[in-house]
Amino acid sequence: MRISFRLFPVQAVFLLLTALLVCSCNVPEPVPAATNTPDWTATPIPPTNTPTPRPTATATPIPEYLTIRSEDLAGTKLILRSSLNGAEQKELEELVNLFNKENEEGITVQLIHAASLDELSSITSAQSRDKTDLVIADSAWLRRQNEYGKPFMELSPFMNAQDLALEGANIEPLMDVMLKTENQNGNYYALPLWAEPAFLFYNKTWAIELGYEEAPSDLAAFAEQACAAGKANYTDKDNSKYGTGGWIVSSAPEDVLSWLLIFTQNEETPGELIQSAEGDVFIDTASWLRNLFDNGCAWNSRVREPYDYFANRFALFYSGTYADAKRQYSAFEQSDSHGFDNWELIVYPTRESGGKKNPRIYADTTSVAVLQSEDAKKVNAAWRFIRWIYRDEHAAELALSAEGWPVQDNDEITKLYRKSGKDKLYQTLSYRQYLVNNNADENWLTDQMILADGFNYVFNPSAKPEDIAGIWEQIGTIIAEINEVNNLETKTAVEKQE
């Protein structure tokens, strides 16, 4: 999902990054001062005949919104706002209409579409909060909104309620790996509806002609195939292919983070990678890819979109999501020479073939949240709508329309994807187990864009490999400066509303 939000324009960040570029310095690690631990001597406590009083257990009151009976919800009206577009918005409209017809409680949901996340932002203001009951949007955006003012309900009480939990009644449990994407220290202010994973597009037919029967599973194999493609295009009779052939350099946030996850040492999450002061992972990743670039095995595209290049063998690999598949099919149909090439979606390689064998997959998540409300009936009804979404295959149908991964797993969902005609997406379902929890903070939307802009500068003609450590340093500086301004503005705005 491509996200729009307000912060410094990319050009401004690029100029600031260029102006601030400095040489990296080796800073010695601080040595902790020695601490003398005192020797403690146990002092005997004289016996006493006075019994120790035991505290009286106090029953935790049940929130009112959990005590609402289904028969008391008749006539309850809810407003659901979403920032979805295209097929997923249409599918959501159909699901809302179906819910309004078949729910036994007599609840009515009104769906209101927001053209952008900026437009959706008004739901968190004190003046507008009573005009929205549910919201479906990008998970990182929801987390950002909830950092100040806490507009969203914590959903654990519902999830743990005996009669309202996400179980039974044709509800398949959410996969643990999916549920973790919304786990904030044991709290759930939203629940995932689908995930949009990042992949590599791989021309299987061309690879076989180059002498490779299997897709690369580790970095060494990836580099070998990318360089072979680059060499083949250098000797091609078509002069326009000189300097192409391997991986097309991409600095989209999901692509950058997919590469960074390969070079982690301690299974760091994307959020932890950005917060790291040392930057070893960024430096290792960028240095390895820059070396690939300098050796003609990766190249900067002359146009923004990779589809025609990939369909005409200017690239053996490019980075993307299944949302790119429709246009990629079209590009192959229009290719004069390679229209029948077979291509695949493959996971990013692992660092070592004999070591860490499991890939690590980055994905953006779309989730649903419930707005805080003093109306217990509305809160209860909103949860019943969410529970209905997870019934049968409703959530999977929504995920499929969004061309993402479903958050539940059973034979019916697998059959739904297999019969959808989206074969290449269906073939990736087994990779869901490798999804990495983002674990990002409220500044994620800003941080990932600055990270991506700095990564793009690594391949700028004016940058040198030895500049990479300095680039990371400036990424951290810019992130800190922009977040300080953004967080202060957000906090001030919330205080004014209150």
DSSP H or E run through 378:
helix 376-389
Alpha helices for 77-161 (secondary structure H): 86-102, 117-120, 139-147, 156-160
Residue 192 CA to residue 146 CA, distance in Å, equals 16
- Strands 245-248, 343-346: pairing is unpaired
**Main-chain dihedrals φ then ψ at residue 318, nearest 5 degrees:** -150, 160
How far is CA 111 from its chain centroid? 25
Check if the beta carbon of residue 21 is closer than 8 Å to that of residue 471: yes
Q: Given this model, what pLDDT does residue 121 score?
A: 80
Of 196, 173, 189, 9, the residue nearest 84 (C-alpha): 196
Of 327, 269, 263, 182, the residue nearest 455 (C-alpha): 263
Q: Given this model, what pLDDT does residue 490 score?
A: 57
Q: Given this model, what pLDDT does residue 26 score?
A: 37
Q: Which residue has the tokens 């409680």?
A: 105
Check if the beta carbon of residue 271 is closer than 8 Å to that of residue 441: yes
Residue 475 CA to residue 492 CA, distance in Å, equals 26
Q: Given this model, what pLDDT does residue 48 score?
A: 40
Cα separations in angstroms, 135 against 94, 141, 190, 362, 370:
16, 11, 9, 24, 7
Question: How many CA atoms lie within 13 Å of 9's alpha carbon, on the beta-carbon side?
Answer: 3
Of 247, 249, 258, the residue nearest 304 (C-alpha): 249
Q: Given this model, what pLDDT does residue 237 score?
A: 84
- Residuewise pLDDT in 10s, the chain (498 residues): 444 433 444 444 444 444 444 333 333 333 333 333 333 333 343 444 444 455 554 556 789 999 999 999 999 999 999 989 999 999 999 999 999 999 999 999 999 998 788 888 877 665 555 689 999 999 999 998 887 778 999 999 999 998 899 988 789 999 999 999 999 889 999 999 999 999 999 999 999 999 999 999 999 999 999 999 999 999 988 889 999 999 999 999 999 999 999 999 788 888 888 877 778 999 999 999 999 999 999 999 988 899 999 999 999 999 999 999 999 999 999 998 999 999 999 999 999 875 457 899 999 999 999 999 999 999 999 999 999 999 999 999 999 999 999 999 999 999 999 999 999 999 999 999 999 988 777 788 889 999 999 999 999 989 999 999 999 999 999 999 998 887 666 555 544 455
Residue 468, classified by CB atoms within 10 Å of its CB into exposed (0-12), middle (13-18) or buried (19+), is buried
Residue 422 CA to residue 326 CA, distance in Å, equals 9
Kindly provide the residue ranges of all beta strands, DSSP E only, lying in 399-456, ordered along the sequence.
Answer: 405-406
Angle between helices 10-20 and 444-457 (to 10 degrees): 60
What token pair was written down for 433? Answer: 């187990």
pTM (2 decimals)?
Answer: 0.85
Kindly provide the residue ranges of all beta strands, DSSP E only, lying in 332-400, ordered along the sequence.
Answer: 343-346, 363-370
Check if the beta carbon of residue 136 is closer than 8 Å to that of residue 80: yes
Alpha helices for 103-236 (secondary structure H): 117-120, 139-147, 156-160, 176-179, 204-209, 219-234
Domains of the chain: 67-196+364-427 (3.40.190.10), 199-360+441-489 (3.40.190.10)
Single-letter residue type at 89: Q
- Give 24's contacts (C-beta < 8 A, 6+ positions apart): 469, 470, 472, 473
Residue 65 CA to residue 96 CA, distance in Å, equals 22
